[in-house]
Amino acid sequence: MNISSDVARAPGTSGNSGRLAGVRASLPPDTDVADLADVFGLLSDPGRLRLMVALLSGELCVADLAAAAGMSESATSHALRILRAHRVVAVRRSGRMAFYSLADGHVRMLLEVALVHIEHSAMIHDHPGDGHD
């Protein structure tokens, strides 16, 4: 059942309306969740993610970022443009060089939490495979 009994019962038809309502109430406003999904979206591209991870150690110029992330300088520039647009990174310009750094504490924290877990679990288990279809 949904929330109360356990077998066959139209969802939202029985005594579960209570809990469903509770769940709905505990959900953050849609705009907030959407913003959050956006942040996760920035973190979801392998190239961009490598760039951000590299920046955890400190400021780097575009060419170095490209080398560190293993992508072309053009792709790097495009990626940085997106991160810049969302204020995830900040630029410092010096002559013809541009130095990027992480500028978003939220993202930094998510990265650190995620990376700690990676080290802990990488060799323990974790399958990217399939559930069981």
CB of 74 to its own copies, least distance (A): 15
Among DNA, its own copies, none, the one that 117 touches (CB under a kind-dependent 5 to 8 A) is its own copies
Q: Per-residue x/- mask for its own copies, residues 60 to 79, rule CB under 8 A?
A: xxxxx--xx-x---------
- Rounded to a whole number of angstroms, the minimum distance from the CB of residue 34 to its own copies is 5
The candidate with the shortest Cα–Cα distance to 83, out of 114, 118, 39, is 39
Q: Which residues pair with 61 in a beta bridge?
A: 99
Q: How far is the CB of 44 from its own copies (least distance, A)?
A: 4
Cβ-Cβ contacts under 8 Å for 101 (sequence gap 6 or more)? 55, 58, 59, 60, 89, 90, 92
- Identify the residue among 4, 18, 35, 72 touching its own copies (CB under 8 A): 35
Q: ∠ CA 121-127-130 to the nearest 5 degrees?
A: 160
CA distance 13 to 2: 9
Distance from the first to the final alpha carbon of the chain? 23
Give rounded-to-5 percent helix, strand, coil for the chain.
55, 10, 35
Q: Which of 3, 53, 61, 90 binds DNA (CB under 7 A)?
A: 61
Which string of x and - marks every residue 22-41 that binds DNA (by CB under 7 A)? -------------------x
Residues within the interface to DNA (CB under 7 A): 2, 7-11, 13, 41, 44-48, 61-63, 71-75, 77-82, 91, 94-98, 133
